Chains A and B, each alone.
Chain A
Amino acid sequence: MNISFVLNGKPTSVDVEPSMLLCDLLREKLSLTGTHVGCDTSQCGACVVHVGDCSVKSCTLLAVAVDGARVTTVEGIGKPDALHPMQLAFHENHGLQCGFCTPGMLMSSVEFAKRHPNPTEADVRHWLEGNLCRCTGYQNIVNSVLRGTAAMHAEQGA
């Protein structure tokens, strides 16, 4: 099946098998390996991307479902020399170690920040319950999301 969608701001048209998952389309066909697959069972959250403005687990979505949609992956929110405020906050607050969960953490957190201008720590922990990390410990991730959220809103207000 042929599907067309906007991927990280770029119109994209691609042939996919009806059974192909969005994470496999991104990783295998479009070589965007920033989106990770940690569990394949929708538990770990390493595969989170944005479809429209919503963060979704791309291991649980068929690729054909994004026909006509806007899809954003971790590669689309910032570049190494121009980090997104949330990426910068993770860097400055030691919000990552091995980095495997980080793309999903970032994509979940960016949607969180847009929805929660003044979040509490409990808000962050509740939102991130679908994202697992096995090495950093969640405290620095929560700190990063709080700082990143503040930075995103400060940037918008400026």
Chain B
Amino acid sequence: MSNVIGIGARPLRKEDQRFLTGRGNYVADIKRPDMVMGVFVRSPHAHAGIKSIDATTALAMPGVLGVFTGEDLKAAGVGGLPCGWGITGKDGLPMKEPPHPALAQGKVRHVGDPVAFVVAETREQAQSAADTLVVDYDVLPAVVGVLDAIKRDAPLLFDDVPNNLCCDWALGDKAATDAAFRKAAHVARISLVNNRLVGNPMEPRAAIAEYNAATGQTSAAASA
């Protein structure tokens, strides 16, 4: 070990021991009295209307406590997931930001879009019940890839977002850039397509919440 102190030092982490010996406390490791488990039912289709969700069989299965859908969230007034960073397009208008409910409402828009949440006393019971849920889909044409999505006749994901275009964005001094290009000895052109980026930590997304009726407080733990 180096004897450098402060900046440039190579300190050993103090939190390692619990992680090295299997004594970390991740969300899935937490157990609470009377804890119940929830499982998502997700769309197998990239684009489809939800005609109906039949939970009759699931609700009659052992241990099942509830089956919740997007319509239940809507009825309960639960909001959606807003985008954390809005931008303004070249036309001076804010980007299109359609609703993003936690459970799909009316339509699924990607494979894996959550359509229902099944709650039961154990994870196995919730999973078994989730497998019996009958979701009747009206499968719609899908596009994959941003360039196909903005073609004139591409199927629309949101009826009120023409051309599937969130926004056309530009940054910088266009006049100065154009002038620089005009004076350039050589001009090269290149099209760049950014791949989709997803923050994807090893610990799966998980959350546990506990409501204390005596104090009216809810405590929650979630993976980042």
Contact = CB atoms under 8 A, between A and B. Distances in A.
Interface of A: 27, 32-39, 44, 46, 73-75, 78-80, 83, 87, 90-92, 94, 96, 98-103, 106, 132-135
Given A75-B22, A96-B16, A100-B24, 15 more contacts: A34-B23, A34-B24, A73-B22, A74-B22, A75-B21, A80-B21, A80-B23, A83-B17, A92-B12, A96-B20, A100-B26, A100-B203, A133-B202, A134-B201, A134-B202
Interface residues of B, number: 20
Contacts of B201: 98, 100, 134-135
Contacts, number: 83
A101 B26 CA distance: 12
A90 B20 contact: yes
A38 B29 contact: no
Interface string B3-28: 00000000011001111111111101
A151 B169 CA distance: 55
B202 A38 contact: yes
A78 B19 CA distance: 12
A5 B29 CA distance: 23
* Chain A CB within 10 A, most for which of B12, B21, B28, B200: B21
A24 to B, nearest CB: 8
- Chain A interface SS verdict (over half): loop
A80 to B, nearest CB: 4
Given A98-B202, A98-B203, A134-B201, A103 B16 contact: no
Contact of A99 (B12, B24, B28, B204): B24
Interface in B1-59: 12-13, 16-26, 28-29
A36 B22 CA distance: 9
Contacts of B16: 90-91, 96, 99
B21 A35 contact: no
Instruction: Kindly name the residue among A73, A98, A132, A135 whose own CB sees the greatest number of chain B CB atoms within 10 A.
Output: A98
Contacts of A83: 17, 20-21
A94 B21 contact: no
Nearest to A100: B202
A35 B24 CA distance: 10
B137 to A, nearest CB: 24
Contacts of B18: 80, 99
B20 A78 contact: yes
A79 B17 CA distance: 8
Interface in B145-169: none
Given A98-B202, A99-B19, A36 B13 contact: no
A117 B19 CA distance: 26
Given A90-B16, A91-B12, A91-B16, A34 B203 contact: no
B22 A35 contact: yes
A98 B26 CA distance: 10
A101 B13 CA distance: 17
A75 B23 CA distance: 8
A32 B13 CA distance: 24
A76 to B, nearest CB: 9
Nearest to A92: B12
Given A100-B201, A134-B202, A135-B201, A94 B13 contact: yes
Contacts of A90: 16, 20
A35 B20 CA distance: 11
